[in-house]
C-alpha cells in the first residue's frame, strides 16, 4: 500500500446521463472534492450549446486541457477529486489521462429514451435537440483501463445505487479502499 492519499475520478457520458448528480454524490462518499466540468467551459462554448450548435474538437480542446490540469493538481496534492465531464471521444480521455495516468472512469450510459425524458424535464442551457449529436459523437470507453460502466437500459436506477456500485468496484479492483490508494 502506498502512504499517499489521492484518487481522481472522471464521471463521463452524454448530456443528461447523470454525471453531475452522481459525481457530487460520489465525491461526498469519498470525502473528496467535486468539480462540474460545465463550470470550466469558456463562455463561447456555453453560448454555442445554448444556441443548439454542437461543440467541435477545437471548441473542446482548451476546456479539456483545463479539466486535465485539475486532475494533475489533485494528483500532485494527493487529493480526492471527482470531475463530471462528458469526455465523449477516446482522444478527449487521452488528454484527461495526461493529467493522471491512473485516472478512474465511471461511464454512465442510460438508454436514449431515458436521456430524452430527463432532458425534457429539466431547466438547463443544453437543448434536448443536441442529444443526438452527443450520442453520435460518443465513443464508448469500454476496454480502456480503470473504467467501470453503468448501463441502465432497462429503466431508471437510483443515483445512490450507481454510486454504491462504483465504490464496490473500486474496492474489488483494489484501486481504493476508502482511505487510500491501494
Ligand atoms: N440515476 C438517476 N435516476 C434518476 N434521475 C436521475 C439520475 N441521474 C440523474 N438524474 C436526473 O437526470 C437529470 C440529468 O442529470 P444530471 O444533470 O446529473 O446529468 P449530467 O450528465 O450532468 O447532464 P449535463 O451534462 O447535461 O449537465 C437531472 O434532472 C437529474 O436529477
Ligand atoms: O462535450 C460537450 O459537448 C459538452 O461537454 C456537453 O456534453 C455539455 O457540456 C454537457 O453535457 C452539458 O449539458
Which numbered atom of ligand 1 lies nearest the CA of 108? 21
The cell 465511471 sits on which residue? 106
pLDDT (0 to 100) of residue 2? 42
Q: How far is the CA of 176 from the centre of ligand 1 (A)?
A: 25
Average pLDDT by consecutive 10-residue portion of the chain (182 residues)? Answer: 70 96 96 97 97 98 98 96 98 98 96 94 92 98 93 76 94 80 57
Q: How far is the CA of 149 from the centre of ligand 1 (A)?
A: 16
Q: Which domains does the chain have, with CATH numbers?
A: 7-172 (3.40.50.300)
The cell 441502465 sits on which residue? 152
pLDDT (0 to 100) of residue 20? 97
Q: What is the ipTM of this complex?
A: 0.96
pLDDT (0 to 100) of residue 176? 83
Q: How far is the CA of 1 from the centre of ligand 1 (A)?
A: 35
| Contact predicate 131/103, CB 8 Å | no
Of 104, 94, 103, residue with least CA distance to 139: 94
Amino acid at each position: 500500500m502506498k502512504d499517499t492519499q489521492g484518487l481522481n475520478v472522471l464521471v463521463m457520458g452524454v448530456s443528461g446521463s447523470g454525471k453531475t448528480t452522481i459525481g457530487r454524490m460520489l465525491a461526498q462518499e469519498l470525502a473528496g472534492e467535486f468539480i462540474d466540468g460545465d463550470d470550466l467551459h469558456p463562455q463561447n462554448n456555453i453560448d454555442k450549446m445554448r444556441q443548439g450548435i454542437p461543440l467541435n474538437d477545437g471548441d473542446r480542446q482548451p476546456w479539456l486541457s483545463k479539466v486535465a490540469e485539475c486532475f494533475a493538481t489533485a494528483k500532485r496534492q494527493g487529493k480526492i477529486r471527482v470531475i463530471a465531464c462528458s469526455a465523449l471521444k477516446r482522444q478527449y480521455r487521452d488528454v484527461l489521462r495526461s493529467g493522471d495516468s491512473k485516472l478512474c472512469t465511471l461511464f454512465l450510459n442510460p438508454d436514449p429514451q431515458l436521456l430524452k425524458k430527463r432532458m425534457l424535464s429539466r431547466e438547463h442551457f443544453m437543448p434536448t435537440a443536441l442529444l443526438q449529436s452527443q450520442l453520435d459523437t460518443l465513443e464508448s470507453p469500454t476496454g480502456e483501463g480503470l473504467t467501470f460502466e453503468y448501463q441502465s437500459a432497462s429503466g431508471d436506477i437510483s443515483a445512490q445505487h450507481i454510486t454504491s456500485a462504483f465504490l464496490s468496484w473500486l474496492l474489488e479492483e483494489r484501486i481504493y479502499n476508502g482511505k487510500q490508494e491501494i
